[in-house]
Amino acid sequence: MLVNRVRKNDRKLARWRKREAVTCYRLYDRDIPELPLTLDRYDDHLYAAVWSRRRDQDDPEAANLLHVWLIQQVGAALGLAPQNVHLKERERQRGAQQYTLLAKERRRFEVREGGLRFEVNLNDYLDTGLFLDHRQTRQMVRKEASGTDMLNLFAYTGSFSVYAAAGGAVTTTTVDLSQTYCDWARANLALNGFGGPDHQVIRADVEAFLQEARAQGRSWDLVVCDPPTFSNSKRTEATFDVGRDQTPMMQALRDVIRPGGALYYSTNFRKFQLSDETFHGYDATEISATTVPPDFRDRRIHRCWRALRRGDR
């Protein structure tokens, strides 16, 4: 059943993949309830995530062996080398847990998206370094970036910054609290020929960065903000909750966005409820129906807004 469904999905996406030159995409999205897997293809690699509920399993070890066998069958059906098939078991995570180091292989390899180059790691973390569900959003940012100063907050591995730079952004500023992801973002920028003072990567807490930027009178034309659902990093005493902190975050951002400047704001928190005050001072439109790409069966994988800052303070 799984192999047949994957083959069917691959054929269904073939024309779109060829037209858009897509080589990294979702093949299977928990289509069959009894097989709670997501399968992503990264060029000639297969990344499988098993959504585990251990409390519901009589024999977790046997279930794991079954999953391994199933994924191997899918990889073989796709003609992939066994060493290029990667399996991760994931349970529902909260906040920064999804970024927890699972292994120390540090084996990255290069993939292409939109004519750009990115390093991914399919072994060490639950997430790979390139969020496939934001492929469309990255392209929107690229089209809007020409001649702008761009700010990327909670930047992860900097893919939005790479797209903005490729779209003609005059400067990009990439901010994340993790040294690992700052280094990764620099590597992705360099891989595409961007670096130096015009493309800064800054390790900082976002709230502290915005306070300092406001005090210095810094501002940007184009901002991307894709925060975690929850964060309680050891590097800062403060905690961040995307539901609780949405309004103060947007208002702090408003002070560093130039009048008429654009903000892309996204969250993958499924219980997120937008406050009436969050986009005060903006003209905001939810664009989730456009940003979730066609290879994702789960249309609630994220929510996304594009907001223009009004000219008044």
Give 44-86 pLDDT, tens digit per residue: 999 999 876 554 556 667 777 888 899 999 999 999 999 999 9
Residue 233: the pLDDT is 55
Residue 152: the pLDDT is 98
Residue 99: the pLDDT is 41
The DSSP annotation for 14-69 comes to HHHHHHHT--EEEEEES-STTS-EEEEEETTEEEEEEE--GGG-S-HHHHHHHHHH
Query: Domain segments of the chain: what residues?
Result: 2-92, 127-309
Q: How many percent of the chain have pLDDT more than 90? A: 74
Which comes out higher in pLDDT, residue 150 or 37? 150
Which pTM value belongs to this model?
0.90
Closest to 302 in 3D by CA, of 125, 134, 99: 134
Distance, in Å, from the CA atom of 190 to the CA atom of 118, rounded to the nearest integer, reads: 10
Closest to 74 in 3D by CA, of 26, 7, 129: 7
- Average pLDDT of the residues in 10-22: 94
Residue 103: the pLDDT is 45
93 phi and psi angles, rounded to 5 deg:
-105, 160
Tens-digit pLDDT profile for residues 173-223: 999 999 999 999 999 999 999 999 999 999 999 999 999 999 999 999 999
CATH class in words for 127-309: alpha beta
Tens-digit pLDDT profile for residues 231-288: 665 555 567 778 788 899 999 999 999 999 999 999 999 999 999 999 999 999 999 9
Residues in a beta bridge with 60: none
CATH class in words for 2-92: alpha beta
Residue 58: the pLDDT is 62
Residues in a beta bridge with 171: 149
Q: Is the pLDDT of residue 153 over 60?
A: yes
Q: What is the distance of C-alpha 310 from the center of its chain? A: 27
When the pLDDT of each residue in the chain is averaged and rounded to a whole number, the result is: 89
In this structure, what token pair is assigned to residue 80?
């992939």
Distance, in Å, from the CA atom of 260 to the CA atom of 311, rounded to the nearest integer, reads: 6
Is residue 295 packed enough to be buried (19+ CB in 10 Å), middle (13-18) or exposed (0-12)?
buried
The residue written with tokens 């903006």 in the block is 282
Question: Hey, how many other C-beta atoms are within 10 angstroms of the C-beta on 222?
Answer: 25
Distance, in Å, from the CA atom of 184 to the CA atom of 118, rounded to the nearest integer, reads: 9
Which comes out higher in pLDDT, residue 5 or 64? 5
Residue 242: the pLDDT is 82
Closest to 255 in 3D by CA, of 266, 245, 263: 263
Distance, in Å, from the CA atom of 229 to the CA atom of 222, rounded to the nearest integer, reads: 22
Residue 100: the pLDDT is 44
Distance, in Å, from the CA atom of 89 to the CA atom of 91, rounded to the nearest integer, reads: 7
